[in-house]
Amino acid sequence: MELRREYSYYLIQLYIPCMMLVVVSWVSFWLDKDAVPARVSLGVTTLLTMTTQASGINSKLPPVSYIKAVDVWIGVCLAFIFGALLEYAVVNYYGRKEFLRKEKKKKTRIDDCVCPSDRPPLRLDLSAYRSVKRLPIISRISEILAANTDISRRVDLMSRLGFPTLFISFLIFYYQTYVKQSRD
């Protein structure tokens, strides 16, 4: 008699749906920070769906007193989805602060000036016209991280890169560890 685990069942029932839920939770990074209902409902829906997925899988497995690889997988996927929801909380907090600061600046500008001007100040130096050859990705990253960019926008842009990078790193680590343990 030989006991063998069916990996295809767990792949189709657990791993692929959980990966899809994590990736769907990242869609909120591309939504406008002012789209509160869309971002909140996306985050809460993916979190609840992941919780339902986890309870369904755990009910089919026998209870044991130690942590299984599936528990680690579900826990990390839940953490990534919850992290995406928390990311929006941070974006919303800083977005509100930036909005209030801009409103305050508008009020003080109108009160202080007779004729407020919307034109940018005139530059007298030629540094803007000198061409420095840089890769487009490097100039884009430095533009994103510039001090004059809104913090809420920077958090969204950094999350677009950071969350997938961390998740791919986890996938590599998880599968290397999982395959190594299954061979032993």
What pLDDT was estimated at residue 89? 94
User: Left, alpha or beta for 162 (phi > 0: left; psi -120 to 50: alpha)?
Assistant: alpha
Map the chain to HEC letters.
CCCCCCHHHHHHHHHHHHHHHHHHHHHHHHCCCCCHHHHHHHHHHHHHHHHHHHHHHHHHCCCCCCCCHHHHHHHHHHHHHHHHHHHHHHHHHHHHHHHHHHHHHHHHHHHHCCCCCCCCCCCCCCCCCCCCCCCHHHHHHHHHCCCCCCHHHHHHHHHHHHHHHHHHHHHHHHHHHHHHHHHC
Can you give the length of the chain in residues? Answer: 184
Q: What is the pLDDT of residues 32-43, one digit of tens each?
A: 989 999 999 999
pLDDT digits (tens, 9 = 90+) for 129-139: 555 566 676 66
pLDDT given at position 44:
95
Q: Is residue 7 pLDDT above 80, yes or no? A: no
Task: Please report the domains of the chain, with CATH numbers, ordered by start residue.
Answer: 7-118+136-183 (1.20.58.390)
> Mean of the pLDDT values across residues 22-47?
93
15/174 Cα distance (integer angstroms): 12
| Better pLDDT: 106 or 174 | 174
Question: Would you state the structure tokens that stand for residue 54, as one six-digit string?
Answer: 């986890």
Q: pLDDT (tens digit, 9 = 90+) per residue, 156-174?
A: 989 999 999 999 999 999 9
Q: What is the pTM of this model?
A: 0.74
Token reading at 31: 């939504």
Closest by CA to 53, choosing from 15, 107, 92, is 15
